[in-house]
Structure 1
Amino acid sequence: MVSNHVSHAFAVKLSAMDVTVAEWTLLRVLYGKQPTPPSRIADEMGMSRGAITKLADRLIAKSLVARKASTDDGRSQTLALTDRGIGLVPELAALADRNDAEFFECLGEEERETLKRLLQGLAERGHMTTLPLG
């Protein structure tokens, strides 16, 4: 229930910025990277190449991501953030931090560390290495 409320509140905040949670995740993955092939991004995010293409198409339409021919192989393509995308990621990261604070600032430092440790343990035991974006 807590996860659903935290996630929903964040999705609402992102929607006010015309970004979905899945789009935010791709923006975050691309941030600070050199142009990257969609196949590598798909592997990193645990998503299909088709899903990455659809996300990229939406972000390209919003002028947040650019698709270019690879410099190594003209037949393949790479994805990279545009200047607008680069500028937006820190703003969205701050939004994510504020969202987390709204839900978790009521916990003391020791309680937050315990919660973090417990959740990391659950993620490790459940082999949760990618985000379930659907």
Structure 2
Amino acid sequence: MSDLDTPTPSPHPVLLNLEQFLPYRLSVLSNRISGNIAKVYGDRYGMAIPEWRVITILALYPGSSASEVSDRTAMDKVAVSRAVARLLERGFIRRETHGDDRRRSMLALSPAGRQVYETVAPLVNEMEQRLMSVFSAEEQQTLERLIDRLAKDGLPRMASKD
């Protein structure tokens, strides 16, 4: 039996307990939720999370650039670029150059991509409803407000040094 089999408390002061650190807890929860949802489109279409996110953004905002997709999803530009390349290769999206600016390309769902979106979106919406069913309607509204408040007010405070 190795020392790693049985965790023992550290003799050093705990400066950060990840299990109680909100950003970590939110990240773990998000990863687990996203992983469950990813099974839906992964099993059906062999798609990864970044590809599905690109599809959903383009369903809502057709004609977006890769940079705009990156901004809306908070995914880094390399991840978006790779997802776009895979989706183009598989025929789920199409790319066109902007009429006025040849350097800017616009992305949109192809008919096959639209079909993927229309098939998967109701399934993941149902999963979200099952997840949220642990809360009352009032608790769901409160959670929405709290998330919005963290995004609007908490992030700027977190980033400031004051």
Normalising by structure 2, we get a TM-score of 0.65
1:7 offset after TM fit, Å?
A: 2.2
Normalising by structure 1, we get a TM-score of 0.76
Corresponding residue for residue 11 of structure 1: 38
Larger radius of gyration: 2
Residue ranges of structure 1 left out of the alignment (5+ in a row): 129-134
1:124 offset after TM fit, Å?
A: 2.4
- CA distance in structure 1 between the partners assigned to 2:43 and 2:92 by the alignment: 16
Aligned partners of 2:62 and 2:109 also within 8 Å: no
- Between 1 and 2, higher relative CO (CA 8 Å, sep ≥ 6) is seen in 1
Corresponding residue for residue 29 of structure 1: 57
Instruction: Supply the RMSD in Å over aligned alpha carbons.
Output: 2.4
- CA distance in structure 1 between the partners assigned to 2:141 and 2:50 by the alignment: 27
Q: Does 1:88 find its partner at 2:111?
A: no
Q: How many residues align?
A: 128
Cα 1:106–1:38 change in 2 (3 A) is closer
**What amino acid does structure 2 have at the position aligned with 1:37?**
S
Deviates further, 78-87 or 2-11: 2-11
CA deviation vs aligned residue, 1:60-103 (integer Å, no higher than 9, x gap): 12211112333223444321110111222232221221111222
Aligned partners of 1:6 and 1:99 also within 8 Å: no
Q: Does 1:63 find its partner at 2:91?
A: yes
Q: Secondary structure at the match of 1:72?
A: coil
1:2 offset after TM fit, Å?
A: 4.2
